[in-house]
Structure 1
Amino acid sequence: MTLASGLTLTVVLALVSVVALVMRPRGTSTVDFYLAGQRVGVATNAWAICGDYFSAASFLGVAAAVYATGLDGAWYAVGFAAGFVPVLLFVAAPLRRFGEFSIPDFLGRRLGSERVRLVAVGVVQLVILSYLVPQTVGSGITWELLVGQGVAGLSPYATGIVVSTAVVAALVSFGGMRGTTWTQAVQFLLLLGALLWLAATVIGEGFHYGDAVEQISTAPLGNPAPDGGLATEPNALHPGEPAVFGEPGARYDVLGQIALMVTLAMGTAGLPHVMNRYFTSPTGSAARTTTVWVLCLAGVFYAVAVMLGTAAREIVPGAVADNPWLDELTVDGVLTVPEHALPVLGRIYGGDAGLGVVAAGALIAVLSTIAGLLLAAAASWGHDVYERHLNPRATQRQAVRAGRITTLVTAGTAAGIGLVLRPEAFAASTPSIVATMVTWAFAVAGSALTPVFLLSIWWRRTTAAGAVAGMTTGVVVVIAMLTAGTVADGSPWPDLLLAPTLLAAPLTTVVTVVVSRSTAPPPDVERSWLIMHGTAADRHTQALARLVLAESRRRRREVRRARR
């Protein structure tokens, strides 16, 4: 590790630690620990959501996918950003008005069923683990490139996973939602600053996006092959022809492109670490305004990531001669690990300090997302399982302690899985292992949770039995399709199998509707509907009606006692 990169990393870790310490929860209640007292402002929450959402898949993965597959990689950027449109239109405001701790908590109360709550906990944990593993992989890749050295006999890759996971788990268990919110907000601003610095530097050196795409597209697109050298990418849209950077078809055919977009757009509304943030907003309108901010920030972020992935594809081959250190990272001028695209650009233009800035940005993305995922896991296990089932008489202190223990267990599990994975093993089959694995988490969320989530918010007849059947169907179908797409050679429609929401989500919806129509809805559905969708005047009237009814009952009791 050079002095500049080491100093950058140390400053970043020290800064987030100080923020977590200063902004730790003041009380020991679960509302403070899991929801920051439900007093998070619009701008702060928007920055924190971006810190949650712009993970290694966004910072490293989108640029890597564009670098490896050209225009097809840009679908990741479009899908990740588009995911907040349905959240804005259908989820943010009613979810916050209903006011719970987590997705399982919302579904359990809305449908009046503890069985729904527990099934949702299982699905949420599967989504969290699927999302956590690629973050640990991203941290290992970044540490390997930034530091290049391991500790305690571990490889640099393994050291990055262990250090980043341990640091974040400690910060989350100590800082809770309040500390995590502010650290994520600061981390996002640092992350965005690193990305904009690199973009400004590249443009200042004469890069022009349109000219670069035109130049790169004059030759067939090639990437490193497992047996050495470069292999020309086949064109999925025009079999028999080579793929080029500036045209679709380097990775996906028409069905694959649609399947990927649907999977990413549907998945966002089912991501527990993102949706839980809406419970921290003070009102439903604040939650909706927060989402508008997030959409604007996402548009800027992903546009810059696509541009930089293109810049790396044009610039790196010509930089090999003047930068001998690139020989170990490239084959015939093409990076063997696409996730190295942004850190390599940073080192080309900024030396070790530039590498430190960009790699620190990547670590920030990893740390911030891991923090949100661990907090979501803590809310799911600590609140939905421990408080309600394992120890219903738990004190607030005991419930918070259970959440903190959960963060450590979940972090250890994700790190263990990440340690057995190597990005190079997937390079030939995926445009970016980090972005691809995150897509699997989106697939589980968008297939098993989002349809049931939306039906529970917008269809009165949704029942507990229907929700359980729908979530179970979604999980089974997604796992079966992902398994088939991953292990079966020559499987038909491989892109659909690896982005299965296009098929799985409609099946989940149909099953939920059919089963719900044959079972009874919860008795208080009208009250829940009014809370989620009624106007402020409606809810005020309802509150007054409850007060009048309570007062009437009190007077009748007094009359009966007087007659005795």
Structure 2
Amino acid sequence: MTTTAIITLIAVLVIVLGVSVITRPRHSSTVDFYLAGQRVGVATNSWAICGDYLSAASFLGVAAAVYVSGLDGAWYAVGFAAGFVPVLLLVAAPLRRYGEFSLADFLGRRLRSDAVRLHSVGVVQLVILCYLIPQSVGGGITWELLVGHGLFGLSPYSTGVLLSTAVIAVIVAAGGMRGTTWNQAVQFLLLFAALLWLAVMVSADGFRYGEAVESLSNQPLMNPEFTDGAWHLTEEQNAVDSGTQAVFGEPGARYGQLGQVALVVTLGLGTAGLPHVMNRYFTAPTGRAARTTTVWVLVLIGMFYALAVMMGTAARDIIPGASREHAWLDDLTEDGVLRVPEHALPVLGRIYGDEAGLGLIAAAALIAAMSTVAGLLLASAATWGHDVYERHINPRATQRQAVWVGRTSTLIAAGAAAALAIVLRPEAFTPAMPSLVATMVTWAFAIAGSALTPVVVLAIWWRRTTAAGALAGLISGSITSIAMFLSASFLDASPLRELMAAPTLVAAPLAFLLTIVVSLRTQPPSDVEADWVIMHGTAADRHAERIAHLTLRERRRRKEDRRAR
């Protein structure tokens, strides 16, 4: 690693640590630690949600998926961005108005059930773990490319996994939601600036997206495969039009028609069930602020993913020619095609900015992984510290004890994710989808969209939802999605395998159906109308409801006083 790259990485870490120190909570209350005092503004929260959401799968994975499979890879960008549409229309404002600490806490209180809360905690932790692992993998891949050697006898990949995870775990444990919010906002701005810089550089060099797609589509799409102890370029077969070769600008390079629909549905529904993203809406001051924040998020991530698709295309168009001019590309490519697709953006950074450019893009990749890890660890802390410890293990816990449990749980979750990322090394996988980190993140989206999203949406919009129905939806959605994508590894390439690898198209309707059927056979909470006013009533309705509750409380107090006299 050069001095320039070292300086770039150190500068980024100093900024991140500095923001955490400056914005760390001055008090030890759970509202401050988990929700930043519920005083996060629209602009800051929208940047922070983007930083939380735009993970290594977004920064490295989307460009890598486009690089490998062209139009089929762009479905990742479509699915990731489209996920905020149902959040905007169905979830953001009612969820914030109800006002809890986490998704599990919302479901437990809304359905008056500790069993629902605890089952939700289990599903949330599973989603968090599935999401944490690819972020750690992304950190390891980036360190391996940038540095090339490990520390303390570890491999470069393992060193990157441990360092990136350890740094952000300490930051989260120290800074809580307030420090993490500002960190994620700053990290998003740095991440977006790095991608924008790269787009400006390739455009100034003469790259034009439309012309590149047309040029790349004039020849069969070929990618490296490691067989018989050596790398070989192999032609991709079109999965939509069998018997023909796949090309960059047409669908079918990786998925058939069913697989494309299944992937977009899985990613689109999964967002509303992601605990680290949904928990951010509880930090907004009002429901209106939560909805406005989502509009800004849609605009920002739409711009980001458009740039990511453009850069994946640019890498496919530019790197073959650059490999004849830059000898260092020989170790990364096979006949001008990258062996590891996630190297697409860092390689472009080095081509256009030399070592400083490589350092900038690598630092941005680490930022993407670290920012999402921060949100995931906070979501984990909220479920363990508040939903489990405060609610069940020690209901009389002090604020300091609850925060201490939350901080401890962040370190444990980070350690588990890092250990699994090291054990499940990238070379041990033969992913059914074009990018390793994007593939692994899809697992988290599948579980969230199949189990949590149906139950959350019904709890918000259907009065008859019951605790028993929610349990049926949570259990059926999670088990079905896990069973399907585990089964995909045993199937040969086929439409069935594509459906099994992105199972929400099947699992989510099943969860919706079972939740509805079981709810119709059981009794909903008796005071559901009060919840309805909180989530869906006008401001005047909610004000009147609060006055009515205060009046009743005052009457009860007066009766108790008279009895006491």
TM over 0.5: yes
Q: Deviations over 1:375-404 (max 9, x none)?
A: 100001111011111111111111111011
- Structure 2 alignment gaps of length 5 or more: none
Aligned to 1:4: 4
Shift of 1:420: 1.9
The reply on whether 1:57 has 2:57 as its aligned counterpart is yes
Partner SS state of residue 229, structure 1: strand
- Aligned mate of 1:296, from 287, 296, 299: 299
- Aligned mate of 1:270, from 261, 270, 273: 273
Aligned to 1:468: 471
The reply on whether 1:500 has 2:503 as its aligned counterpart is yes
Structure 1 segment 57-96 matched on structure 2, within 5 A: 57-96=57-96
Distance 2:562 2:283 in 1: 44
Aligned to 1:534: 537
Change (3 A) 1:410 1:428: closer
Structure 1 segment 193-232 matched on structure 2, within 5 A: 193-227=193-227, 228-232=231-235
Change (3 A) 1:434 1:359: same
Aligned residues of 1:337 and 1:424 also touching (Cα < 8 A): no
- Aligned mate of 1:372, from 375, 378, 382: 375
Shift of 1:543: 1.6
Shift of 1:556: 4.4
Q: Deviations over 1:78-128 (max 9, x none)?
A: 110000000000100000000000000000000000000000000000000
Structure 1 segment 390-429 matched on structure 2, within 5 A: 390-426=393-429, 429=432
Distance 2:368 2:105 in 1: 28
Distance 1:334 1:420 in 2: 28
Aligned to 1:152: 152
Q: Which moved more, 1:547-556 or 1:235-244?
A: 547-556
Aligned residues of 1:337 and 1:427 also touching (Cα < 8 A): no
Report the AA paired with residue 66 of structure 1: V
Aligned to 1:246: 249
Aligned to 1:258: 261
Aligned to 2:236: 233
TM-score, length basis structure 1: 0.98
Aligned to 1:176: 176
Aligned residues of 2:259 and 2:495 also touching (Cα < 8 A): no
The reply on whether 1:334 has 2:337 as its aligned counterpart is yes
The reply on whether 1:430 has 2:450 as its aligned counterpart is no
Aligned to 1:286: 289
Aligned to 2:127: 127
Structure 1 segment 338-349 matched on structure 2, within 5 A: 338-349=341-352
Distance 1:417 1:559 in 2: 63
Shift of 1:489: 3.8
Distance 1:496 1:190 in 2: 36
Report the AA paired with residue 21 of structure 1: V
Q: Which moved more, 1:540-549 or 1:204-213?
A: 540-549
Distance 1:424 1:318 in 2: 27
Distance 1:337 1:546 in 2: 60
Distance 1:428 1:224 in 2: 14
Aligned length: 562
The reply on whether 1:446 has 2:444 as its aligned counterpart is no
User: RMSD of the TM alignment (CA)?
Assistant: 1.2
Distance 1:54 1:558 in 2: 56
The reply on whether 1:480 has 2:483 as its aligned counterpart is yes
Report the AA paired with residue 473 of structure 2: G
Distance 2:557 2:150 in 1: 70
Q: Deviations over 1:207-256 (max 9, x none)?
A: 00011001111110010012121011110001111100000000111101
Distance 1:409 1:548 in 2: 46
Partner SS state of residue 445, structure 2: helix
Report the AA paired with residue 337 of structure 2: V
Shift of 1:534: 0.6
Shift of 1:9: 0.4
Report the AA paired with residue 445 of structure 1: A
Aligned to 1:118: 118
Aligned to 1:99: 99
Aligned residues of 1:146 and 1:355 also touching (Cα < 8 A): yes
Aligned residues of 1:6 and 1:147 also touching (Cα < 8 A): no
- Aligned mate of 2:388, from 385, 388, 400: 385
Shift of 1:427: 5.5
Distance 1:422 1:314 in 2: 29
Distance 2:360 2:493 in 1: 42
Partner SS state of residue 223, structure 2: strand
Q: Deviations over 1:356-391 (max 9, x none)?
A: 011111010001000000010000111101111111
Q: Deviations over 1:142-187 (max 9, x none)?
A: 1111111110011111100000000010000000000000000000
Partner SS state of residue 176, structure 1: helix
Aligned residues of 1:95 and 1:279 also touching (Cα < 8 A): yes
Partner SS state of residue 505, structure 1: helix
Identical pairs, percent: 69
Shift of 1:558: 5.4
Shift of 1:423: 2.7
Distance 2:146 2:137 in 1: 14
Aligned to 2:30: 30
Shift of 1:422: 3.1
Shift of 1:546: 2.0
Change (3 A) 1:490 1:44: closer
Partner SS state of residue 493, structure 1: helix
- Structure 1 alignment gaps of length 5 or more: none
Partner SS state of residue 226, structure 1: strand
Partner SS state of residue 70, structure 2: helix
Aligned residues of 1:484 and 1:491 also touching (Cα < 8 A): no
Distance 2:216 2:71 in 1: 12
Distance 2:564 2:164 in 1: 66
Aligned residues of 2:222 and 2:233 also touching (Cα < 8 A): yes
Aligned residues of 2:97 and 2:535 also touching (Cα < 8 A): yes
Distance 1:266 1:123 in 2: 16
Report the AA paired with residue 40 of structure 1: V
Distance 2:188 2:385 in 1: 27
Partner SS state of residue 483, structure 2: helix
